[in-house]
Structure 1
């Protein structure tokens, strides 16, 4: 289970669009956000697995999905997110900040937008209120 709403929202958008992402989407129920590594320039989130995830392994063993833009009014930043697979399973998420210094905690106010070519252009907005 993903404990961070922010990370879960990013993964939801990354896995919603093309055939490979949709094929990997069932893995969300079997991953756990195991480690967060803040770098100042971004964030790496590593995942561990619950039993049964192997049934949802995808054919492309080294898939990389990217194309979610991250914007927030909390900090003067803009960032992109990419999801990396290993042996057909979700391995880690990389958030790369290309404007400003990435904070060392989850964002509470954000707009996430699908920006890859021919994407549905879906957005998730959070205002930070409970």
Structure 2
């Protein structure tokens, strides 16, 4: 189980319109954060995947992108992308479109489905 509300919310927003939602949601519920790799312009989140996650594999590899992350306090405009490899969630990448990315978890944010909502 992911103990970060921020990361959990991002993952759930990225998968919520997917045709494989039930399988992906089951994967999200089993994941744990392995490490957070902060860069100047973003964050990579790597996961621990228990062996039981294999039963929730989807049939294709894909990248789910277009999630817009806004945080007024940090003047952040970022995008989230979820990479699925061998049918399993592999890692999450967040990159700032507005400059430097904060080196801490963001507490107040808005998540926008950029593939549906138009700003």
**Residue number in structure 2 paired with 1:39:** 39
Scaled by the length of structure 1, what TM-score is found?
0.84
**Residue number in structure 1 paired with 2:112:** 113
Runs of 4 or more, structure 1, over 2 Å off, are 20-23
Q: CA deviation at 1:68?
A: 1.1
RMSD of the alignment, in Å? 1.3
Structure 1, unaligned stretches of length 5 or more? 122-130
Count of aligned residue pairs for this structure pair:
117
Alignment of 1:7-26 (within 5 A): 7-26=7-26
Scaled by the length of structure 2, what TM-score is found?
0.92
**Residue number in structure 2 paired with 1:126:** none
**Residue number in structure 2 paired with 1:80:** 79
Task: Assess if the C-alpha contact under 8 Å between 1:15 and 1:22 holds in 2.
Answer: no
Match of 2:106, SS state, is coil
Deviations 1:60-114 (A, max 9, x none): 0x21101210001221220000000111100100001011210001101111111
Deviations 1:6-62 (A, max 9, x none): 0000001001002144542211111111110000100000011123110000000x2
